[in-house]
Structure 1
């Protein structure tokens, strides 16, 4: 990434953030009445909606039902009005990027959900990007994790995902940037997305968009993990607030 384009001499990015600063995060749980669990997440101008259905009996042939665990079915799509790089003339749920995101999401959630507690059953996770402005994969993972918590699905811990990139100023060392916006992603530099289980420190996803020398990888990885920690602090407060409100209503 071109350092002069992404970070000013005063150390600010184009949107006014410091290199390690996250975009503004907002989240809500229980936004869909017909889902077993749901969540809405805003991260900057990226907006994602996630819904969870189940656990329930496996649909279709029972032969595909694992005898010792639940089957996780993940579907990702982008609204036609989402903008960014997600817009397609064909139905958004059928595009290649959404399919890749669904596969990555399933891999992350299989490491977080205690699927062995629900043998021969199925859990459906649907994620839709309502507005795309960078970090769609990370926001999808984080929103899905919130929706699973809202559904009461047992997990090893909350799961969150964040991103980081690398700015290379003409003078001075490379600079790691947290939580890339669409404009920063479009600069074409290496982008790292990681998903973690903050309670255990387990790293469940590490996706690098381009080659990066190992000496430069560690600062970017550290920045992405710090982004996950910051995001987890915000989302944990949202979950705790929801639990307090639910407890007060039941008393």
Structure 2
């Protein structure tokens, strides 16, 4: 899709958003009673479910046990109906393995695993509908599920994407915008300290634009944080718990 179509002359994107505007976010905690923690996260037309189990005994043999911390085990999958081209293998393909690795990397550095030595924490994430920003949506959903499970973290882990059309940075890239061929940056931050715990890009950015795109992604993470925090406060108020 041509860049001219992705960004109109009036400065609006093809879905009517401004360059610095997120898609509509909807999230809910505690969607499954069987799990220790769960969450539903929707960003535009990208929809994700996350469940958390643990901490519990390590499975798969004593050799896997870490004496001074918990093991973070992640599994990513996509529903067969989540995309136009249906997948025969909802998990186990190269893309699923790659996202699983990124999720484990992100939460191993942000969950306070040292509080639960010799245990395992399982994070399961499934994409119900895909329309861009899959990894960032999965990170945000998993964050809410971990909070619902009561597992301590250094901070919220908030993720967002950013891209570039001509010399204008765009936040929260949809599938149509990504298909336009522009570079895409995905980051996850701890919003209260601005620490970046994950970063990746599909193509290199020109040095003149890299800082602009990074700043746009960080601002997107801060917007996501506000919405996640509101969802958590609403959830705990419904449970009758006062949030400190």
TM interval, shorter chain, is: over 0.9
Query: Which residue number corresponds to residue 4 of structure 1?
Result: 4
Query: Which residue number corresponds to residue 188 of structure 1?
Result: 181
Query: Which residue number corresponds to residue 103 of structure 1?
Result: 101
* Superposed counterparts of 1:218-237, under 5 Å: 218-237=211-230
Query: Which residue number corresponds to residue 147 of structure 1?
Result: 145
* Superposed counterparts of 1:81-120, under 5 Å: 81-83=81-83, 87-89=86-88, 91-120=89-118
- Quote the offset at 1:92 in angstroms: 1.3
Query: Which residue number corresponds to residue 34 of structure 1?
Result: 34
Q: Cα deviations across residues 64-106 of structure 1 (Å, max 9, x unaligned)?
A: 1111000000000000000057x423x2111111110010011
Whether the 8 Å CA contact 1:145–1:159 is kept in 2: the answer is yes
Whole-angstrom CA distance in 2 between matches of 1:140 and 1:74:
11
Query: Which residue number corresponds to residue 66 of structure 1?
Result: 66
Whole-angstrom CA distance in 2 between matches of 1:137 and 1:102:
9
Q: Cα deviations across residues 165-195 of structure 1 (Å, max 9, x unaligned)?
A: 0001xxxxx0000000000011111000000
> CA 1:248 to 1:100, structure 2 compared with 1: closer, same or farther past 3 Å?
closer
Query: Which deviates more from structure 2 when the two are superposed, residues 201-210 or residues 44-53?
Result: 201-210
| Structure 2: runs of 5 or more not aligned | none
Query: Which residue number corresponds to residue 208 of structure 2?
Result: 215
Whole-angstrom CA distance in 2 between matches of 1:5 and 1:98:
31
User: Is 1:46 aligned with 2:46?
Assistant: yes
Query: Which residue number corresponds to residue 206 of structure 1?
Result: 199
* Secondary structure in structure 2 of the residue aligned to 1:204: strand
- Quote the offset at 1:243 in angstroms: 1.2
Whether the 8 Å CA contact 1:84–1:133 is kept in 2: the answer is no
The number of aligned residues is 242
* Superposed counterparts of 1:8-27, under 5 Å: 8-27=8-27
Q: Cα deviations across residues 18-54 of structure 1 (Å, max 9, x unaligned)?
A: 0000000000000011100000000000000000000
| Structure 1: runs of 5 or more not aligned | 169-173
Whether the 8 Å CA contact 2:53–2:122 is kept in 1: the answer is yes
Q: Give me the TM-score of the superposition, normalised by structure 1.
A: 0.94
- Quote the offset at 1:2 in angstroms: 4.5
Whole-angstrom CA distance in 2 between matches of 1:195 and 1:182:
19
Whole-angstrom CA distance in 1 between matches of 2:134 and 2:198:
14
Query: Which residue number corresponds to residue 124 of structure 2?
Result: 126
> CA 1:211 to 1:116, structure 2 compared with 1: closer, same or farther past 3 Å?
same
- Quote the offset at 1:248 in angstroms: 6.0
